[in-house]
């Protein structure tokens, strides 16, 4: 401890604090301008000067460390005069209007505090204004050269957009395009706006709708990263969203979706009253009518065709509480295990493989391990677009020396930061990952101690894997043997090594086995159960981890408990027997519908028609259903073509509850505005329908917190997580008791399956599709930064101006050969269907390969994808379809 005198008072502090940290600790305010705790201190504005040890030369508080016996004075007359003259210099160039108009800006408050309003004599001029970005207005007449925008873009987003031009009085800050922000490499994360202490960078929404009068802390409703945000509202409308500074995941950062893509909430075509389809056309209905219509129709179908003929799909976008109710409804009201959610088409293979091998179907580690790892292996995931806050953290880690190994058929952004990019052919994970395992054993760089203590089946594995030489794999996967060996070397030697994976592993016919191969690598090298290691799926939506974990899965109850194991406990809590008949998963429901013995589906927040693979097959199945209840905010594609009843749901800004992110963290969702129009939170709708079907006693919840408390009573590993404890930052399960701190790292000393985990011998199967004369290209599909899945939300925001729609990425070589030009529309045909979309010529895809996103209904990409599925969990093959390209004549 160090002893320091501040303004005549003695204080004790830990070592290695700056003077500014120490002052803030004891709540002594001094002015700062260029300081923001999200970045390294610059010491540029000099406003934080203080007098130290009586010296006539003041020191800069943000970049000077405290030392024992220091004597600090913070507000002497002399220091205050110096601060005033520093501010005066800035004021002379600053336009006065803004100081009056936006009194709360950091700089404006200081101008007032030092009585300098009259000295603001600068002028704004049109050439300093840039309105090109749909969200951000730039007016550099208000720039005071604190360089916070430059630094935050580099140090947090890793984008390096803002550049400093010229020096001295002629200094200017301009984006890297040298023209405007829209043409620059900006990804509209809004970090620079958030830190700007003046109004040089400002959210357009604040300028047009006014400043927020109320703030609500909540969790982002897009991806599984789980960033926390402050939602600013004014007169019942969202006007701005800002990052939460002390959020454990996002640490004061958001991506363009979380930060800006909220306009869908007030979209003109949001469905705000229930609707019933009568003789083919939608008719508005009251909630009573819609609920009793739905209850009657469901009841009749169950009576006529039995419980096995109906099913429910929970929503990965809705809360844990709502998904818990959805599966409870299926199991107690409809008396069927036919319940699923879109984890089926996403990371079901991950959950299955990890549950089988390690005992828990969830990420073994936490996002904080990104900064602890020396090596990060990224297999089939594109974090800078799909989990951008994690992408940004990975980029910073790489800039600080962490080695990245990227395994992806495309040159994703992170390959620019990678020590090694293994650009394999799509569908070739098994040969490649097996060969890495082989190379590890060939070189004898496995972790013997870990293998002895914690791993079984080693001899069998060694025998099996020796066949998978890097040379053999190279022929299949197209990655040179030398590179495979190098990857093995880095992963096994540069420890701790963390593995992060995505859909490039799971959405293949060998998806589950692909994840098993990754687990094998972690077991061989001892990269599990320790900081900076593990197997970490980047789960998709805000609550897909939660939806499945709450029991929206035909085979498991809440807490991922197999039905047989949990049925006694659940039967006691629910006071109903748990159905014993094996339930159908989503894909099986579709098959059964096509065959005619599945009759009714309630799809909560899930656009299956647009997003399931092989849309022709989905259409055949859905068109045979007698009843399709769609519960969504928008008339999605499933509702448009097949819906019988539409129940309008409130968005997550309009309700309370919790989400579970990809690192097992459960965080609060809080209501910022009232449900729009007549829409209602999903949990209320489910309870009403249960009541209408005579099971109201099991659904008598008055709040999401009451539902959560019932969840805690059936789910042991979540029992310690109550609403109060989740107030700031949430908690990671397992957390079995209220005094348990939550768990960052799983499997530290044992696996949930026992002390040892068994290696798996995974054979390679030839993909169902390959390029031939008729279909010479392999189509890989996935996502883009600015659009989100079915696009219902992002397409109704200015994100569409940043990325208009779906593109077909094609290599320069192929585009030239086919004489195609940039943005030209082409018709793509597969064995299953066709789609028309514009091409984008890029060398991020290899010749012979194509990549397209699936976000827009007018392209409807899934007419191209086929019927092949993972053999363990039925996840569709989304990432490998043979196609051909035809000139599009407009017909």
Ligand X SMILES: Nc1nc2c(c(=O)[nH]1)N[C@H]1C(S)=C(S)[C@@H](COP(=O)(O)OP(=O)(O)OC[C@H]3O[C@@H](n4cnc5c(=O)[nH]c(N)nc54)[C@H](O)[C@@H]3O)O[C@H]1N2
User: Which partner in Mo ion, ligand X, ligand SF4, none is near 682 (CB below 5 to 8 A by kind)?
Assistant: ligand X
DSSP symbol at 541:
B
End-to-end alpha-carbon separation of the chain, Å? Answer: 78
- The stretch near Mo ion (CB under 5 A) out of 31-39, 47-55, 156-164, 532-540 is 532-540
Site for ligand X in 525-544 (CB under 6 A): 538, 540-541
Token pair, residue 662, equals: 């990809």
- By CB under 5 A, the count of residues binding Mo ion is 2
Token pair, residue 890, equals: 């407009």
Q: Quick check: 255 binds ligand SF4 (CB under 6 A)? A: yes
Q: Quick check: 540 binds Mo ion (CB under 5 A)? A: yes
Token pair, residue 577, equals: 């027997």
Task: Say if CB 142 and CB 94 are below 8 A apart.
Answer: yes
Site for ligand X in 671-690 (CB under 6 A): 682
Rounded to a whole number, what is the largest CA-CA distance in the chain? 92
Report the phi/psi class of residue 227: left, alpha or beta, with left for phi > 0 and alpha for psi in -120 to 50.
Answer: beta
User: Which partner in ligand X, ligand SF4, Mo ion, none is near 254 (CB below 5 to 8 A by kind)?
Assistant: ligand SF4
User: ∠ at Cα 623 (617, 624), nearest 5°?
Assistant: 100
- The stretch near ligand X (CB under 6 A) out of 241-249, 284-292, 491-499, 777-785 is 777-785
By beta carbon distance, the residue nearest ligand SF4 is 258
Q: Quick check: 222 binds ligand SF4 (CB under 6 A)? A: yes
Instruction: State how far the Cα of 850 lies from the Cα of 409, in Å rounded to an integer.
Output: 10
Q: Quick check: 91 binds ligand SF4 (CB under 6 A)? A: no
Binds ligand X by CB under 6 A, chosen from 98, 107, 464, 606: 606
Q: Quick check: 604 binds ligand X (CB under 6 A)? A: yes
Q: Quick check: 554 binds ligand SF4 (CB under 6 A)? A: no
Closer to ligand X by CB, 148 or 655: give it. 655
Q: What is the dihedral of CA 132, 138, 139, 145, to 10 degrees?
A: -140
Per-residue x/- track, 380-409, ligand SF4 (CB under 6 A): -------xxx--------------------
User: Which partner in ligand SF4, ligand X, Mo ion, none is near 879 (CB below 5 to 8 A by kind)?
Assistant: ligand X
Smallest distance, Å, CB 222 to Mo ion?
Answer: 11
Instruction: Output the CA–CA distances (angstroms, integers) from residue 461 to 254, 437, 520, 750, in the order listed.
Output: 43, 10, 9, 21
How many other CB atoms are there within 10 angstroms of residue 575's CB atom?
10
Strand-by-strand arrangement of the 214-219 sheet: 214-219, 228-234, 237-243
Instruction: Output the CA–CA distances (angstroms, integers) from residue 114 to 117, 195, 196, in the order listed.
Output: 8, 22, 20
- The stretch near ligand SF4 (CB under 6 A) out of 118-126, 188-196, 342-350, 739-747 is 188-196
Binds ligand X by CB under 6 A, chosen from 43, 199, 248, 605: 605
Instruction: State how far the Cα of 876 lies from the Cα of 615, in Å rounded to an integer.
Output: 12
Q: Quick check: 315 binds ligand X (CB under 6 A)? A: yes
Token pair, residue 3, equals: 């002893």
Q: Quick check: 346 binds ligand X (CB under 6 A)? A: yes
Closer to ligand SF4 by CB, 254 or 633: give it. 254
By beta carbon distance, the residue nearest Mo ion is 540
Burial class (CB in 10 A: 0-12, 13-18, 19+), 737: exposed
- By CB under 6 A, the count of residues binding ligand X is 64
The residue assigned the tokens 């197997």 is 535
- The stretch near ligand SF4 (CB under 6 A) out of 219-227, 368-376, 621-629, 862-870 is 219-227
Binds ligand X by CB under 6 A, chosen from 314, 349, 502, 643: 502
Smallest distance, Å, CB 415 to ligand X?
Answer: 10
Binds ligand SF4 by CB under 6 A, chosen from 191, 433, 837, 882: 191
Q: Which stretch of DSSP H or E encloses residue 434?
A: helix 429-442
User: Which partner in ligand SF4, ligand X, Mo ion, none is near 350 (CB below 5 to 8 A by kind)?
Assistant: none
Picking from 674, 615, 493, 583, the residue whose alpha carbon sits closest to that of residue 863 is: 615
Instruction: Output the CA–CA distances (angstroms, integers) from residue 300 to 310, 344, 626, 638, 709, in the order listed.
Output: 11, 28, 11, 22, 33
Instruction: State how far the Cα of 407 lies from the Cα of 409, in Å rounded to an integer.
Output: 7
Binds Mo ion by CB under 5 A, chosen from 173, 240, 346, 524: 346
Closer to ligand SF4 by CB, 111 or 186: give it. 186
Task: Say if CB 363 and CB 662 are below 8 A apart.
Answer: yes
User: Which partner in ligand SF4, Mo ion, ligand X, none is near 373 (CB below 5 to 8 A by kind)?
Assistant: none
* HSE-up (13 A, CA, CB side) for residue 536: 34
Q: Which residues of this protein are in contact with Mo ion, per CB under 5 A?
A: 346, 540
Q: Which residues of this protein are in contact with ligand X, per CB under 6 A?
A: 223, 315-318, 342, 345-346, 379-382, 385-387, 407-410, 412, 424, 426-429, 502-504, 507-508, 538, 540-541, 604-607, 611, 631-634, 636, 649, 651-652, 682, 780-783, 785, 787-790, 792-793, 854, 861-862, 865, 878-879
Q: Which residues of this protein are in contact with ligand SF4, per CB under 6 A?
A: 152-153, 157, 159, 161-162, 186-192, 220, 222-223, 225-227, 250, 254-255, 257-258, 387-389
């Amino acid at each position: 401890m160090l002893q320091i005198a501040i303004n005549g008072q003695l204080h004790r502090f830990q070592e290695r604090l700056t003077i500014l940290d120490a002052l803030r600790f004891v709540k002594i305010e001094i002015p700062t301008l260029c300081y923001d705790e999200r970045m390294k201190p610059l010491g540029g504005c000099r406003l934080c000067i203080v007098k130290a040890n009586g010296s006539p030369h003041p020191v800069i508080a943000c970049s000077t460390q405290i030392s024992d016996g220091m004597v600090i004075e913070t507000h002497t007359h002399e220091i205050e005069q110096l601060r005033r003259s520093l501010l005066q210099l800035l004021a002379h160039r600053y336009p006065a209007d803004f100081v009056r108009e936006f009194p709360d800006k950091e700089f404006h408050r200081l101008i007032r505090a030092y009585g300098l309003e009259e000295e603001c004599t600068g002028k704004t001029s049109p050439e300093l204004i840039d309105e090109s970005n749909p969200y951000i207005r730039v007016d550099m007449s208000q720039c005071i050269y604190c360089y916070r925008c430059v630094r935050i873009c580099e140090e947090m987003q890793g984008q390096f957009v803002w550049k400093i031009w010229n020096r001295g009085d002629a200094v200017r800050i301009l984006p890297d395009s040298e023209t405007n922000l829209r043409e620059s490499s900006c990804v509209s994360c809004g970090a620079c706006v958030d830190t700007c202490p003046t109004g040089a960078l400002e959210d357009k929404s604040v300028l047009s709708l006014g400043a927020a009068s109320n703030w609500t802390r909540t969790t982002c409703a897009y991806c599984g990263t789980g960033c926390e945000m402050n939602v600013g509202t004014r007169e019942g409308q969202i006007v701005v969203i800002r990052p939460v500074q002390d959020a454990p995941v996002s640490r004061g950062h958001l991506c363009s979706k979380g930060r800006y893509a909220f306009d869908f909430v007030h979209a003109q075509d949001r469905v705000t009253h229930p609707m019933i389809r009568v003789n083919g056309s939608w008719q508005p209905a009251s909630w009573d009518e819609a609920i009793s219509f739905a209850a009657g129709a469901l009841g009749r179908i169950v009576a006529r065709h039995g419980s096995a003929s109906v099913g429910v799909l929970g929503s990965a976008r809705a809360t844990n509480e709502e998904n818990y109710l959805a599966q409870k409804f299926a199991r107690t009201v409809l008396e069927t295990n036919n319940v699923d959610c879109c984890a089926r088409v996403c990371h079901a293979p991950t959950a299955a493989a990890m549950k089988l091998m390690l005992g828990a179907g969830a990420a073994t580690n936490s996002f904080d391990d990104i900064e602890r790892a020396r090596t990060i292996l990224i297999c089939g995931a594109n974090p800078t677009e799909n989990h951008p806050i994690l992408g940004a953290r990975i980029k910073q880690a790489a800039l600080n020396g962490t080695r990245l190994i990227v395994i992806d058929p495309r040159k994703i952004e992170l390959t620019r930061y990678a020590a090694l990019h293994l650009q394999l052919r799509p569908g070739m994970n098994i040969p490649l990952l097996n060969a890495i395992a082989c190379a590890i054993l060939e070189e004898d760089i496995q972790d013997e101690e870990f293998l002895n203590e914690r791993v079984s089946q080693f001899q069998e594995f060694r025998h099996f894997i020796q066949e998978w030489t890097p040379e053999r794999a190279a022929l299949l996967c197209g990655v040179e043997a030398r590179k495979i060996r190098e990857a093995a070397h880095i992963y096994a030697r540069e420890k701790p090594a963390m593995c992060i994976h995505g859909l490039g592993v799971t959405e293949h016919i060998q998806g589950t086995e692909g994840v098993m191969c990754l687990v094998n690598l972690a077991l061989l090298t001892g990269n599990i159960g320790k900081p900076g290691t593990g197997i970490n799926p980047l789960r998709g939506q805000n609550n897909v981890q939660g939806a499945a974990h709450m029991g929206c899965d035909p085979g498991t109850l809440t807490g991922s408990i197999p039905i047989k194991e949990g049925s006694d406990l659940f039967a006691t809590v629910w006071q109903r027997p748990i159905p014993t008949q094996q339930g159908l998963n989503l894909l099986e429901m579709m098959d059964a519908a096509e065959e005619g013995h599945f009759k009714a589906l309630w799809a909560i927040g899930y656009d299956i028609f647009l997003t399931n693979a092989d849309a022709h097959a989905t259409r055949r199945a859905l068109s045979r259903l007698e009843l399709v209840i769609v519960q969504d905010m928008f008339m999605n594609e499933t509702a448009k073509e097949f819906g019988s009843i539409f129940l309008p749901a409130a968005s997550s800004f309009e309700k309370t509850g919790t989400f579970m992110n990809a690192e097992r963290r459960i965080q609060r969702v809080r209501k910022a505005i009232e449900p729009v129009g007549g829409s209602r939170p999903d949990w209320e709708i489910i309870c009403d329908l249960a009541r209408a079907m005579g099971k109201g006693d099991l659904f008598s919840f008055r709040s999401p917190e009451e539902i959560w408390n019932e969840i805690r009573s059936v789910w042991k590993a979540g029992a310690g997580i109550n609403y109060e404890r989740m107030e700031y930052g949430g908690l990671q399960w397992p957390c079995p008791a209220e005094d348990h701190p939550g768990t960052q790292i799983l499997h530290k000393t044992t696996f949930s399956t026992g002390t040892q985990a068994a290696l798996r011998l995974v054979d390679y199967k030839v993909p169902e599709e390959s390029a031939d004369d008729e279909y010479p290209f392999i189509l890989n599909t996935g996502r883009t930064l600015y659009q989100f899945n079915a696009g219902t939300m992002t397409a109704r925001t200015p994100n569409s101006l940043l990325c208009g729609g779906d593109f077909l990425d094609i290599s320069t070589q192929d585009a030239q050969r086919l004489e195609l030009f940039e943005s030209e529309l082409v018709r793509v045909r597969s064995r299953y269907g066709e789609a028309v979309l514009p091409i984008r010529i890029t060398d991020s895809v290899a010749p012979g390969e194509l990549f397209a996103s699936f976000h827009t209904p007018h392209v409807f990409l899934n007419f191209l994808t086929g019927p092949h599925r993972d053999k363990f969990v039925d996840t569709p093959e989304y990432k490998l379809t043979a196609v051909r390209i035809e000139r599009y004549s407009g017909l």
